[in-house]
Amino acid sequence: MSETPDQFLILGIETSCDETAAAVVSNGDTVVSSVVSSQVDLHARYGGVVPEIASRAHVELLTPAVAQALVESGIEGNELHAVAATVGPGLAGALLVGISAAKAYALAWGLPFIGVNHMEAHLYACFLEEPDLEPPLVVLLVSGGHTMLVAMDAHGQYRLLGTTVDDAVGEAFDKVARVMGLGYPGGPAIDNVALTGDPTAVKFPRAMPQGLDFSLSGLKTAVIRYVRDNPETPVADVAASFQAAVVDVLVDKTRRAVAEVGASTVCLGGGVAANSLLRERILDLCTEEGLRCFLPSRSMCTDNAAMVAAAAWWRYRADGATPLDIGAQPNLRLA
Ligand code: KG4
Ligand code: ZN
């Protein structure tokens, strides 16, 4: 990167799953505009994301989302300094829509293109909202497709401490909610209905596989079986009991990760980081252990493009532009 203007403006694009999003972010820490066009209604009738429908919806929704992000920012395309898009992990066809569009905008405006890892973007949502945050830190990244405990030693340097051996935590929320008739996406629905339930009503299993890994399929199956066998138990009690079991496991493993790494800062990222009980319990953990804690705002936890532009700013300063021959990387790893 030859020279850095005072305000380095990046257009971020996010299309890895079922949110079509565009945002303009300045210097990785100031959101100038952020637009999220949710496809939830399109997928809800199928009880989950249908990849082909997601790709087609991204094609329809992306250009208007970018136009709106630019209008709201008051910035013309050629006044930007770079265009970024999520290149993975995610749904191949969905990713391709955002990547192709971002490259086209970059070429048309003569700007560098920056490819971003979606999970790194979830982490950088924290730096976007809390610019004085500093590594080293431990981050719990929990989304629809991923469940990871990661040690961030420095910007761009990660160690995977633990991950799920089966289902991702968001996936477990969504499947359990579907069986309880709570609709899609299940996470927010369970969070909401659990507020009025008794978390001790049903004792669901808390699987603790070795080390810092997670296993959620046993819990998911136990809840599904319980709901079928005990239709009279109030949904709120089942939801609260399931949520309590998930959060117990997540918080316990985070506590161990912090001890193992000797970290003094803990962050959360990903859609499930919007969960009320998880936020409360991670805050309690940090208070008990005297740790600095940062929880992104709920809208910054779920998929958006501002986090993509924020991660892109750091990525560009470290590595410069991404070659334009990069394609979609559905299984891209963080570490
Ligand atoms: O990060 P995200 O928006 O998309 C992916 O990268 O997957 O995460 C979506 C996931 C879904 O499984 C959704 O049910 C879950 O995050 N989620 C929640 C909450 N809000 C969204 N899970 C639990 N509690 C919530 N409040
Ligand atoms: Zn995500």
Read off the pLDDT of each residue in 69-73 and give the average, rounded to a whole number: 98
Read off the pLDDT of each residue in 214-231 and give the average, rounded to a whole number: 97
Which of 95, 272, 279, when mutated, tests ligand 1's pocket best, judged by the most ligand atoms within 8 Å of its CB? 272
- Ligand 1 pocket, Cβ-based, cut-off 6 angstroms: 17, 143-145, 170, 173-174, 185-188, 191, 270-272, 274-275, 302-303
Q: Domain coordinates of the chain in residue numbers? A: 9-124+302-319, 133-300
Please state whether the predicted TM-score (pTM) of the whole model is above 0.75.
yes
Same fold, 9-124+302-319 and 133-300: yes
Superfamily, domain 133-300: ATPase, nucleotide binding domain (3.30.420.40)
How far apart, in whole angstroms, are the C-alpha atoms of residue 21 and residue 45? 22
Binding residues for substrate: 141-145, 174, 187, 191, 275
Among 281, 322, 246, smallest CA distance to 86 is for 322
Instruction: Kindly list the protein residues that place their beta carbon closer than 5 angstroms to ligand 2, a single-atom ion.
Output: 143, 303
State the distance from the centre of ligand 1 to the C-alpha of 323, rounded, in angstroms.
31
How far apart, in whole angstroms, are the C-alpha atoms of residue 294 and residue 193? 26
C-alpha distance from residue 282 to each of 148, 265, 266, 269, 273 (Å)? 15, 11, 8, 12, 10
The per-residue pLDDT for range 78-103, each reduced to its tens digit, is 999 999 999 999 999 999 999 999 99
- On average, the pLDDT of the chain sits at 96
Residue that has been written with the tokens 């996010």 in this structure: 14
Which of 143, 178, 243, 331, when mutated, tests ligand 1's pocket best, judged by the most ligand atoms within 8 Å of its CB? 143
State the distance from the centre of ligand 1 to the C-alpha of 333, rounded, in angstroms.
19
Confidence of residue 1 (pLDDT cuts 50, 70, 90): very low
pLDDT at 6: 87
The atom of ligand 1 lying closest to the CA of 16 is 6
State the distance from the centre of ligand 1 to the C-alpha of 25, rounded, in angstroms.
23
pLDDT at 3: 60
C-alpha distance from residue 130 to each of 6, 151, 267 (Å)? 19, 18, 11
Question: Residue 66 pLDDT more than 50?
Answer: yes
Superfamily, domain 9-124+302-319: ATPase, nucleotide binding domain (3.30.420.40)
Q: How many contiguous H segments (helices) and E segments (strands) does the chain have?
A: 11, 10
The per-residue pLDDT for range 136-164, each reduced to its tens digit, is 999 999 999 999 999 999 999 999 999 99
State the distance from the centre of ligand 2 to the C-alpha of 84, rounded, in angstroms.
16
Check: CB of residue 122 under 8 Å from CB of residue 143.
yes
The per-residue pLDDT for range 248-289, each reduced to its tens digit, is 999 999 999 999 999 999 999 999 999 999 999 999 999 999
82-88/113-117 β-pairing:
parallel
